[in-house]
Structure 1
Amino acid sequence: MRVQSSATAASPIAVTAPGERRLLGVGQAALGVVAFSLTFPATAWGLEGFGPWSLVAVRSVLAALVAGGCLLALRVPLPERRHLPGLAVVGAGVVLGFPLLSTLALETSTTAHAAVVVGLLPLTTALCSALRMGTRPSRRFWLAALTGAAAVLAFTVGQSGGALTAADAYLFGALVVCAAGYTEGGRLARVIPGWRVIGWALVLCLPLTGPMAALALSHEPVHLTGHAVAGLLWVAVGSQFLGLVVWYRGMAAVGIPRASQLQLAQPLLTLVWSALLLGEHLTAAAPLTAVAVLVCIAVTQRS
């Protein structure tokens, strides 16, 4: 009879692995937030040369081609039938719904005003997670999340002069569908690698986005400029694919509620990019809000 060594139980790797995994997950989710923070400015650039329907459809097609190429090159098997409903929710939320509704909103809204959506997204995602997966974050978590969301809302609404526009209907619709897509994608990423989740969601939407792109391009004028091409490429590859790959991996590692609170920093990053890339004006309230948001993020991460 052989007696197994107890070295494995005492291994420092076994002890530190969960902590290292959480740290890596937070880092991946943070990279996703940085990628997403450029989405609205890049969309504004894209709208300089493309119509809203063309921009959304072409970005989805390009992202699907990149994702499909990766899936094919690595010979990834088809998703199991039981995962198809979840992938459909991801596709409807983050491949079609959020890009289309936010792009339509940006036709008449500034990126600062549109950042209100992102300010509310962490809280909405946590609520969706609680309803869909039965998670029960602590009261301190919810208090910090609500405080951070309130700070972001106050800042972004102040930036837009406190006025509500017709684009708000698009923005709040985008908020709901994106939160649902994030929640379902985070759930699937626990059993499927995150890049496969968004990859298959993009490919499964291709029968819709392909004809949509052809139809939109035939009806909307296209004026190719440096800004338009750069904006299109970023929202297609950076936001629609690579950003969601690391984002879903991060959510799978640290949990949907905790990862979603990192997005409290996204509106502030978006406003910085808007000032640098679009020339939009920022007030002195930005650094104060940034400090408040970072404190809230720290509290949610420790809750």
Structure 2
Amino acid sequence: MITEKISKEQALSGWINGFIGVLLFSGSMPATKLAVMDMSPIFVTIARAGIAGVLALGVLLVYKEKRPAKNQIFPLILVSIGCVIGFPLLSALALQYLTSAHSIVFLGMLPLATAIFGVFRGGERPHPVFWFFSIVGSLLVIGYAVAQGISASPIGDILMLVAVILCGMGYAEGAKLSKTLGGWQVISWALVLSLPLMIPLFFIYFPDNIQDVTVNGWFGLAYISLFSMFIGFIFWYKGLAQGGITTVGQLQLLQPFFGLALAAYFLHEQVSMGMLGVTVGVILCVAGTKKFAK
């Protein structure tokens, strides 16, 4: 009875931490949009990784965490490539061509990308229905992007698609590694590994017109540096480790809804019925892939 009670408590804690992580991630695209309106996407990417990396290094030193084992370095590098550099940079570049509301539609594919990388990395053999939902979900997003025609940017769509793929890889690697290294330690070490590159680039790409950056721009950079790049991952990876990757991972399905609501409220961007329809369709497809993933 005691073991079962602890198990239920851990599962509930996993859901709560995972929900907080998703809620914090949901503000990433609107906040990034605010930042790139005043600063270059490259500098925004470097700054968010550098700020979060210094914070992560401080936390690791305070808690006197042991260094990762040699066999954990490569997965950490993949997490860094996917979540610290790849997704932030490509999504920031995409937001030069797209509204944050449009880009959020692509986040509906993120749980699918994570599941696919989890399948290949974990060696699982999903049911054939898994691939049916996978293809339909991808076609919904691609079809929506093509249907926008002149009003949208093919460059922005491609950048977001690649960004989602890299982020899915980083999520899958981080979730797998969190079982042995620990939830918050994964993103902390991934950020620290990027610091030798980010610190010199920070000064190289430091904007000349820094005095022209608005309060909204600074707010956007602060949010993605603290919450999207570090604090959100602490809750997210902890939730995955406590409640399980497959079950807690389903909470990602809520991210597009939260993101669209934030984009409409803070940026006053139009959320069309098409965006909502495609987002709902993709969520249903991702739910199908989750069911038949194992």
* TM-score of the superposed pair, with normalisation by structure 1: 0.83
After superposition, residues 31-180 of structure 1 pair within 5 angstroms as: 31-136=20-125, 163-180=152-169
Q: Which amino acid aligns with 2:31?
A: A
**Partner of 1:8 in structure 2?**
none
Q: Which amino acid aligns with 1:278?
A: L
Query: Is this contact kept in 2: 1:115–1:270, CA < 8 A?
Result: yes
Q: Distance in 1 between matches of 2:144 and 2:254?
A: 12
Aligned-pair CA distance for 1:181: 0.5
The one-character-per-residue Cα deviations of 1:43-81 (angstroms, maximum 9, x if unpaired) are 111123221111111111110111111111111121112
**Partner of 1:21 in structure 2?**
10
The one-character-per-residue Cα deviations of 1:168-211 (angstroms, maximum 9, x if unpaired) are 22111111111111011001100112111100110110001111
Query: Is this contact kept in 1: 2:83–2:170, CA < 8 A?
Result: yes
Q: Distance in 2 between matches of 1:157 and 1:35?
A: 30
* Greater radius of gyration (CA): 1
Structure 1 residues 135 and 31, CA gap change in structure 2 (3 angstroms) = farther
SS of match in other structure, 2:98:
coil
Aligned-pair CA distance for 1:213: 1.2
**Partner of 2:252 in structure 1?**
263
Structure 1 residues 295 and 97, CA gap change in structure 2 (3 angstroms) = closer
**Partner of 2:201 in structure 1?**
212
Q: Which amino acid aligns with 2:3?
A: A
Aligned-pair CA distance for 1:29: 1.6
Query: Is this contact kept in 1: 2:84–2:229, CA < 8 A?
Result: yes
Query: Is this contact kept in 2: 1:115–1:156, CA < 8 A?
Result: no
Query: Is this contact kept in 2: 1:268–1:286, CA < 8 A?
Result: no
Q: Distance in 1 between matches of 2:136 and 2:37?
A: 36
Structure 1 residues 97 and 252, CA gap change in structure 2 (3 angstroms) = same
Aligned-pair CA distance for 1:25: 1.4
Structure 1 residues 115 and 291, CA gap change in structure 2 (3 angstroms) = closer
Aligned-pair CA distance for 1:292: 7.2
Q: Distance in 2 between matches of 1:220 and 1:61?
A: 20
Query: Is this contact kept in 1: 2:46–2:198, CA < 8 A?
Result: yes
Aligned-pair CA distance for 1:252: 2.2
Query: Is this contact kept in 2: 1:159–1:283, CA < 8 A?
Result: no
Q: Which amino acid aligns with 2:222?
A: L
Structure 1 residues 272 and 40, CA gap change in structure 2 (3 angstroms) = same
Q: Distance in 2 between matches of 1:247 and 1:59?
A: 18
Aligned-pair CA distance for 1:284: 5.5
Structure 1 residues 278 and 55, CA gap change in structure 2 (3 angstroms) = same
Query: Is this contact kept in 1: 2:115–2:290, CA < 8 A?
Result: no
Counterpart pick for 1:187 among 171, 176, 179 = 176
Q: Distance in 1 between matches of 2:240 and 2:151?
A: 33
Runs (4+) of structure 1 exceeding 4 A deviation are 136-164, 218-222, 284-303
Structure 1 residues 291 and 131, CA gap change in structure 2 (3 angstroms) = closer
Q: Which amino acid aligns with 2:157?
A: D
When structure 1 is superposed on structure 2, of 136-145 and 257-266 the one drifting more is 136-145
Paired-residue identity, %: 35
| 5+ long unaligned stretches in structure 2 | none
| 5+ long unaligned stretches in structure 1 | 1-12
Q: Which amino acid aligns with 2:21?
A: G
When structure 1 is superposed on structure 2, of 223-232 and 197-206 the one drifting more is 223-232
Q: Distance in 1 between matches of 2:158 and 2:282?
A: 26
Aligned length: 291
Q: Distance in 2 between matches of 1:106 and 1:288?
A: 21
